[in-house]
Amino acid sequence: MLKPFSQLEEKMEFLNRIIQGDCRQILKALPSQSVDFVLTDPPYLVNYRDRSGRTVKNDGGSADFLSAFSDLYRVMKPNSFCVSFYGWNRVDEFFSAWRTAGFRPVAHIVWQKDYTSSARFVQYRHEQAYVLAKGNPGRPARPLADVQAWEYSGNRSHPTEKAVTILKPVIQAFSKPGAVVLDPFSGSGSTAVAAALCGRRYVGIELEGRYCQLARKRLAGAASYTRKAA
């Protein structure tokens, strides 16, 4: 059970932690206007199953979990960004949740794959994310190109793991060193690892205990890497 958020804030207990639970509940315990940047990769609502049968929680059924974006908006600082991956064929549900929360879309990023992940009406070769603004954030000092090269993570820790190398440029463009970066659908912790490697603080929230453990292990590795580099 999380402590009331005044204590959390005082002791900064939520910082640099991977918290297990449903982000709709956990976010309620986080202080308002405490997060500098959100980078997140929610379930795409596509019933994903990989070749070995691995699935993603909440990826198949109702889009109710997208209501988390309203609390995400609340915990973000005024005039800040949220970059959210999404499932392109369920864009209506994502957009509805983002607009209801108060977000304003300001850009769209596409990662181009050099391989076909599946083929049907076309060869599916990209991933995508919206850049959403809370308020009127300033322009990044070095704006990111909205077409990026994709890198395959190998999906070793998680069936839909994002490569840390594709996340780092996003964190560097939309946040400053020392910033608090939140991922409420953190899976195996790729966003948190990327944030740590970029000299940011992180908060990860994930429903599944096994992915929280993996994320903590990866973060311990990243911490020893950043200590060596310092």
Ligand X SMILES: C[S@@+](CC[C@H](N)C(=O)[O-])C[C@H]1O[C@@H](n2cnc3c(N)ncnc32)[C@H](O)[C@@H]1O
Interface contacts to ligand X, rule CB under 6 A: 22-24, 41-43, 56-58, 65, 158, 160-162, 184-185, 187-188, 190, 205-208, 211
105 vs 209, which CB is nearer to ligand X? 209
Closest-by-Cβ residue to ligand X is 187
Q: Where are the beta strands (DSSP E) in the chain?
A: 17-20, 35-40, 76-85, 104-112, 118-119, 123-124, 126-134, 147-149, 180-183, 201-206
16 vs 153, which CB is nearer to ligand X? 153
Which amino acid is it at 140?
Answer: P
67 vs 79, which CB is nearer to ligand X? 67
> Which tokens hold the place of 215?
């994320």
> Which tokens hold the place of 184?
């409420």
Measured from the Cβ of residue 118, the count of other Cβ atoms closer than 10 Å reads 8
DSSP class of 20 = E
In the complex, the smallest distance separating the C-beta of residue 90 from ligand X, rounded to whole angstroms, is 13
In the complex, the smallest distance separating the C-beta of residue 137 from ligand X, rounded to whole angstroms, is 23
34 vs 190, which CB is nearer to ligand X? 190
Residues 49 and 60: their CA atoms lie apart, in Å, by: 10
Residues 23 and 211: their CA atoms lie apart, in Å, by: 14
